[in-house]
Amino acid sequence: MKQDMIVILDLGSTENTVLARRIRDLGVYSEIHPHDITAEELKALDNVKGIILNGGENRVVDGKAVEIRPELYGLGYPMISVDYPQSECGTRLTQQPDEETLKAFLFDTCGAEANWNMKNFIEDQVELIRRQVGDSKVLLALSGGVDSSVVAALLIRAIGQQLVCVHVNHGLMRKNESESVIQVFRDQLHANLIYVDASERFLGKLENVSDPEQKRKIIGSEFIRVFEEEARKLEGIEFLGQGTIYPDIIESGTKTAKMVKSHHNVGGLPEDLQFKLVEPLKQLFKDEVRACGVELGLPHSMVYRQPFPGPGLGVRCPGAITRDRLEAVRESDAILREEFEKAGLDKKVWQYFTVVPNFKSVGVRNNARCFEYMVIIRAINTIDAMSATIERIDWDVLQKITDRILSEVPNVNRVCYDMSPKPPATIEFE
């Protein structure tokens, strides 16, 4: 069933995602598009029922006011504007619309139906995937995280054995992560899974690289090279499946907003990419991805597992990655996850992990001066990963985690707890 759509045109607002979520919560699908979308591009979108011109503090770019193309006014779509000083669109507003105003625009003015739900989304995506892929095969980067797992389930429903899953161990996985992926997907779900141990290859490429954007691009590019090599061993591979979700795209920058950080599956893709992309989740927020996984019948433990970034522990080892710090991150993260599970926090906290910065501090070990790393613990709650609050952890739990890290993880003499919300901080450190 084709779902009705409201298009949000980004004219410099910092509230685009907030507005999109409000519309979706009312049961109507919404997408955010750039201010300079052409009439042809707009008409090519399915089931557009109305347009919201969403202006704001970023409306002036390089000294020029952001405007939409004049021909869009003549297309006949109902329009409403937010903080946008043009009279052609009629029902001009100067602030985010209240609930009644928004409902009146969606359902009375636009005549949209409240048909946005995961069942309809999955039906639409299965049809789109089959139309896009045809008889070809899709190579999927399967990390075992929520996003790639949901993509795998969706692709299996759409194209079955035309899907080839590849799990690459880039040496930046959590403790026993690759073993778990193999056990779940190959042994339990009987997926067509190829396992590639490329840890030495990735770590060699990342040696002495300290810039976080360069690290992300190296990891993203090297992933693609590994997939290309695996694809050459197979026949009929024309597509690359990815678990790109909407926050990945937003944080990688828009025409009216600066980049927060590039994501390896957005900003890190090489220009000479040999595949066409299949990204069925790219318009979903994180909680919607989980809802999609539930609708697809994935087990609860898989759908609600800890989020894990594509670059892995590489972004939790700030600066140039060293093997001793990487091991400290891996071991301290395993302790944190084990103790959170014992305390029941794994079901309460959205994301939690450890970070080991690239500097040392003085301490005392075995009655002698030592100069070792610190471990930073981060635990946050969020709905859509666009903002986050800090979890207040019981002091006794933190003390036990600290004691274990200091006694069990080599080269660590200090443990800290990160109290920074998003914004101004981001969820990850790089």
- Binding-site positions for ATP: 143-149
Instruction: For residues 410 and 138, give the distance between their C-alpha atoms in angstroms, rounded to a whole number.
Output: 42
Binding-site residue numbers are 143-149
Q: Give me the DSSP letters along 368-410.
A: EEEEEEEEEEEEEE-SSSSSBEE----HHHHHHHHHHHHHHST
Give the separation between CA 399 and CA 405, rounded to whole angstroms: 10
For residue 323 the two structure tokens come to: 């093997």
Judging by DSSP bridges, how do beta strands 360-365 and 368-381 pair with one another? antiparallel
**Residue 205: count of CB within 10 angstroms of its CB:** 16
Q: Which residues contact 190 (CB under 8 A, 6 or more apart)?
A: none
Query: Cβ distance 355 to 309 under 8 Å?
Result: no
CA distance 302 to 143: 12
**Cα 426 off chain centre by:** 13
* Phi, psi angle pair for 365, to nearest 5°: -140, 130
From CA 144, how far away is CA 141, in angstroms rounded? 9
3-state secondary structure of 330: helix
Please report, for residues 12, 290, 334, the alpha-carbon distance to residue 338 in angstroms, rounded to integers and kept in the order given: 44, 23, 6
State the DSSP code for 425: S
Q: How far is CA 171 from CA 205, 267, 307, in A?
A: 12, 21, 18
CB contact at 8 A, 325 and 358? yes
**H helices present in 134-245, as ranges:** 146-159, 177-181, 199-206, 212-232
DSSP string of 12-62, one letter each residue:
B-S-HHHHHHHHHHTT-EEEEEETT--HHHHHHSTTEEEEEEEE-TT-EET
Strand partners, 93: 82
| DSSP element (H, E) containing 81 | strand 79-82
Task: Give bridge partners of residue 357 from the DSSP assignment.
Answer: none
